[in-house]
């Protein structure tokens, strides 16, 4: 009995060492690629170099974060307790972790609301019990975090493998996601047109006043339009995920960020920064994969949480007159109209008028419950890259073309394999024609 137990233990250790070996090989590969990308920098006089100098001291420390995250992942992989858990237990553990995150967010809101309340004379004393409770919840969540990350990564991996992304029972690169306080992102666009010409991750913890100060400094120094914004995830390795209690959002973002990793050695990923077209295609593909795989993960592992199908419209007789409801504020449609009109004004050289128009529209969005802090060229340069749905992309043809290519593809893997070779709108349209011809030839 002892010998069998010893052999089983040794087998687990050897398996763990094999997993660590694969992780370190991938980490070394990604580190090598990162060093090569950094080495291929722009000349000192270019705009991004000058803005980079201005942001010195505020940039996020990816190297330090990456080392700490990888060490934590490797340490967890030595044991990998999720591999010895029944699926029902994994289901419960992950949902319990998300509930802890929800409790953290609720407690933080309770504390923040107390500090905002002008009637509270001593907010420190008033929130002392809540602060203690928050520390306890955070400690428990921290204790469970690596296990929760491993569970959701393996669930997404299983669905990806069934979709054809992998060989010999292993998707590559392996999924690795880490909940963490995310850096902010500064995005810069020219004022006379909308284009992402510079983006840089900034240290987390900045407040709104600091965002405004950074944007003012960049805008006045270089006559550009800039935006400091939050992000939901970042395709570092492990992927950086915003701490969230939303199951749907978490599994979608895990798959979304993995798609960036998958595309990295392929033309669409390798040339991510080559042009705005390539970036938009890449992000749109990742959004499509994230939503499709996320929906399948939800249906397979958390079927009780799948949202119900929308109810069919009632067949009301034509002779029945009803008072029409006032039209609701359609965020996507309103944002699309704003982008289209801003593009028109900028194309006519009416820059000041375009910026005044965008600020006017921002106030309308705020009045309708959408807390947009700044709506400018940089806002559209960032949000317009996610073109899987109408909105900030305006009339950009890339989003509909990518969606159409997905519709012409028999499955998700075929779609990604086709588009992974694409880097421009012209190549995308050619791939679309080829897919349409194949579909027609196949009957």
d(CA 5, CA 129): 47
Check residue 33 and give its pLDDT. Answer: 44
Q: Which residue has the tokens 């699309």?
A: 336
Check residue 325 and give its pLDDT. Answer: 65
Check residue 10 and give its pLDDT. Answer: 42
CA 356 to chain centre: 30
- For 33, the token pair is 């690629």
What's the residue count for the chain?
Answer: 443
pTM (two decimals): 0.74
Provide block-wise average pLDDT over 10 residues at a time, the chain (443 residues): 39 46 50 41 61 85 87 89 94 97 92 80 89 94 95 96 86 88 92 93 84 93 94 84 92 95 95 90 95 97 89 56 67 93 96 97 92 93 76 76 95 96 95 90 70
Q: Which H or E run includes 177?
A: strand 177-179
How many helices (H) and strands (E) in the chain?
A: 16, 6
Q: Which residue has the tokens 């588009």?
A: 419
């Amino acid at each position: 009995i002892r010998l069998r137990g010893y052999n089983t233990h040794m087998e687990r250790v050897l398996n763990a060492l094999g997993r660590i070996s694969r992780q370190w090989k991938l980490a070394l590969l990604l580190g090598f690629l990162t060093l090569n990308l950094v080495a291929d920098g722009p000349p000192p006089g270019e705009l991004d170099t000058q803005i980079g100098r201005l942001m010195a001291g505020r940039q996020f420390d990816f190297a330090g974060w990456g080392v700490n995250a990888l060490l934590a992942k490797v340490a967890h992989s030595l044991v990998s307790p999720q591999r010895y858990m029944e699926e029902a237990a994994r289901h419960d553990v992950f949902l319990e972790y998300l509930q802890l995150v929800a409790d953290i967010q609720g407690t933080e809101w309770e504390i923040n609301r107390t500090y905002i309340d002008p009637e509270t004379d001593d907010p420190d004393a008033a929130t002392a019990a809540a602060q203690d409770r928050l520390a306890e919840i955070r400690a428990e969540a921290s204790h469970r975090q690596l296990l929760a990350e491993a569970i959701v990564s393996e669930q997404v991996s299983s669905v990806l493998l069934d979709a054809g992304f992998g060989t010999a029972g292993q998707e590559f690169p392996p999924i690795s996601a880490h909940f963490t306080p995310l850096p902010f992102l500064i995005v810069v666009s020219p004022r006379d047109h909308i284009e992402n010409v510079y983006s840089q991750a900034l240290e987390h913890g900045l407040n709104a006043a600091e965002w405004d100060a950074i944007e003012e400094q960049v805008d006045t120094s270089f006559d550009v339009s800039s935006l400091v914004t939050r992000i939901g995830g970042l395709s570092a390795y492990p992927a950086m995920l915003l701490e969230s209690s939303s199951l749907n959002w978490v599994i979608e973002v895990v798959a979304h960020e993995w798609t960036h990793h998958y595309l990295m050695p392929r033309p669409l990923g390798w040339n991510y920064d080559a042009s705005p077209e390539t970036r938009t295609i890449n992000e749109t593909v990742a959004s499509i994969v994230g939503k499709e795989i996320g929906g399948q993960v939800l249906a397979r592992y958390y079927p009780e949480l799948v949202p119900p199908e929308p109810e069919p419209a009632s067949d009301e007789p034509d002779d029945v007159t009803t008072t029409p409801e006032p039209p609701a504020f359609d965020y996507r449609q309103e944002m699309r109209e704003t982008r289209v009109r801003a593009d028109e004004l900028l194309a006519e050289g009416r820059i000041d008028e375009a910026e005044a128009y965008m600020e006017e529209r921002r106030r309308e969005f705020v009045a309708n419950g959408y807390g947009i802090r700044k709506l400018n060229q940089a806002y559209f340069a960032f949000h317009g890259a996610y073109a899987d749905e109408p909105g900030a992309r305006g009339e950009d043809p890339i989003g509909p073309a990518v969606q159409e290519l997905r519709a012409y593809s028999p499955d998700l893997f075929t779609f990604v394999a086709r588009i992974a070779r694409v880097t421009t709108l012209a190549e995308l349209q050619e791939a679309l024609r080829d897919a349409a011809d194949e579909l027609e030839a196949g009957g």
